[in-house]
Amino acid sequence: MFLAVILLSAAAVASAAMSDDLSTASEEAVPEAPATENHTVVTESGRAGTITVYEPDGEVAYYDNTRTKYFDADPVEGDPMTIEYTATDTIHSEGPTCSDPPCALNVIERVDLEDENPEPEVIYKRYDHQETAGEWHDSDRINETHVVVADIVADQVFIVNTETEVVEWLWDAQSDFPVEEAGPYPHDWAHINDVEYIDEPGDPNDGRIVASLRNQDQVVFLDQEEGLVENWTLGGENEYDVQYEQHNPDYIPESQGGPAVVVADSENGRVQEFQREDGEWNRTWQWEDDQIQWPRDADRLPNGNTLIADSHGNRVMEVNESGDVVWEVPSTLPYEAERLETGPESEGGQSAAELGLESRTADGGGGGGGSSGLFDFDPLGWIGDLIEDLLPHRIHNGLLFASPVWMGASEFAAVGIATLTGLVWIGFETRWKLRDAGVRFRLPVYRRGD
């Protein structure tokens, strides 16, 4: 009986592994996308480090997997078919740039998609002593010579002149936040995963920098002269009902119905928007469905739709104003999605308040592997959803991050059942062997008969 349960569980996992055909490990394996109006960039930073650009007709226009990880990508102002992105290479061998492997090489690269044979050009690079939490997840161009960078390894935001390589401005998170809170200091304390330079004359935040401190659960506004603008901070340490380890906030200026921020509320499994009203941030819109898992990017498009990178949902999708998915392409672990010809972070997008968007929440639990069983009841899926509900969201996402793309709730349930069955089987076998050998066990406290 024990063996039958283990074999059935193994068969369910093997079936999922054999039936999965989603891969982005090579250009030939990348799935085509549905047609849309503009080019779309998708980056991946997990199971495979890739950057893919889709033509409007859905075919792959550009693909590169040279770097270990790819993160944020933006079109260059005035040249929408030239993109700039951050990427990281892991260095495994000891040498002049790495005394204690693994180390990281962080780069800002640029590629002109209209070249006959596009080749990335390194704009700026830096070697860092650690690979884990040692990346630059984002950079944003200020002008032709200056770029602002989100520096995870040093818990800093800095502006560098890419021609002289001189850092001309720097903000250190330690100057405003206690190291006793958030992540483990100094290894992955603040995890600053996003920056955005606001260039909107007349807007109250013109010239400021928006930064996402993932481990503090906060989006902050930085003034280059005054530092942290405290009364503009969105969220708070461990205020998980507001946001929980968020990614890639997208600022919407006053001219587009803001100030507002669209943010991927990653550990809460939703995308939401906050509007600045009477000196406070108020949630005005949120979106989720029963598949979304750990979204890490969301941009409001000029057409009113929202482009979302759903990392553990293994998809990039576009959601219309009614909350329906109108465009979707599979991806093994997408980090960033950018729609070209719409400006950096789709700067023409309006706020939810301006558009009158209605929120949408999921009808049930998150997604999972496996298919429906008898009478549309999938026992493994049900157990998997139960495990997901019982586990802390962060632990569940950690398991998904470390596992193959085909592992979902059903497959985790099958592995759990097989493991538990094996442990029970070993316990019974041990007891039977000891009993056959004449070894008996009894409780240390018992009632003696008359």
In a domain, 427, yes or no: yes
- State how far the Cα of 258 lies from the Cα of 206, in Å rounded to an integer: 13
Distances (CA, A) of 169 to 12, 43, 140, 175: 55, 28, 14, 14
In a domain, 178, yes or no: yes
Domain boundary among 290, 322, 355: 355
- Go through 225-252 and write b for each residue having 16 or more CB atoms within 10 A of its CB, e for each that does not: eeebeeebbbbeeeebebbbbbbbbbbb
Residue with tokens 């200026």: 253
In terms of phi and psi (left: phi > 0; alpha: psi -120 to 50; beta: otherwise), the region of 356 is left
Domain containing 182 equals 29-355
Same domain, 344 and 390: no
Digit-by-digit pLDDT tens for the chain (450 residues) are 989 988 888 888 888 777 778 889 899 999 999 999 999 999 999 878 999 999 999 999 999 999 999 999 999 998 989 999 999 999 999 999 999 999 999 999 999 999 999 999 999 999 999 998 999 999 999 999 999 999 999 999 999 999 999 999 999 999 999 999 999 998 899 999 999 999 999 999 999 999 999 999 999 999 999 999 999 999 999 999 999 999 999 999 999 999 999 999 999 999 999 999 999 999 999 999 989 999 999 999 999 999 999 999 999 999 999 999 999 999 999 999 999 998 877 788 999 999 999 999 886 433 333 333 444 567 777 776 777 777 777 787 787 777 877 777 788 788 888 999 999 999 999 988 988 888 877 777 777 765
Same domain, 115 and 256: yes
User: How many helical (H) and strand (E) elements, i.e. helices and strands, does the chain have?
Assistant: 5, 25
In a domain, 258, yes or no: yes
- State how far the Cα of 71 lies from the Cα of 137, in Å rounded to an integer: 5
Structure tokens at 436: 């056959």
Distances (CA, A) of 203 to 29, 113, 227, 259, 370: 45, 33, 18, 8, 49
Of 328, 322, 282, 290, nearest in space to 305 by CA? 322
Residue with tokens 């005394």: 99
Same domain, 159 and 52: yes
Same domain, 1 and 38: no
Other CB atoms closer than 10 Å to residue 172's CB: what's the count?
15
> Do 187 and 179 contact (CB within 8 A), yes or no?
no
Would the pTM of this model clear 0.85, i.e. be above it? yes
Same domain, 288 and 427: no
Same domain, 13 and 37: no
Same domain, 184 and 55: yes
Domain boundary among 295, 323, 355: 355
Same domain, 285 and 434: no
Tell me which amino acid residue 413 is.
A
Positive or negative: CA dihedral 179, 182, 188, 190: negative
Domain boundary among 309, 329, 355: 355
In a domain, 445, yes or no: no
The CATH number assigned to the domain holding 232 equals: 2.120.10.30
Cα distance between the two ends of the chain: 41
Domain count, the chain: 2
Same domain, 146 and 194: yes
> Do 367 and 338 contact (CB within 8 A), yes or no?
no
Same domain, 260 and 158: yes
In a domain, 343, yes or no: yes
Of 264, 296, 331, nearest in space to 63 by CA? 331
> Do 342 and 348 contact (CB within 8 A), yes or no?
yes
Quote the DSSP letter at residue 244: S
Same domain, 220 and 345: yes
- State how far the Cα of 317 lies from the Cα of 299, in Å rounded to an integer: 11
Same domain, 279 and 204: yes
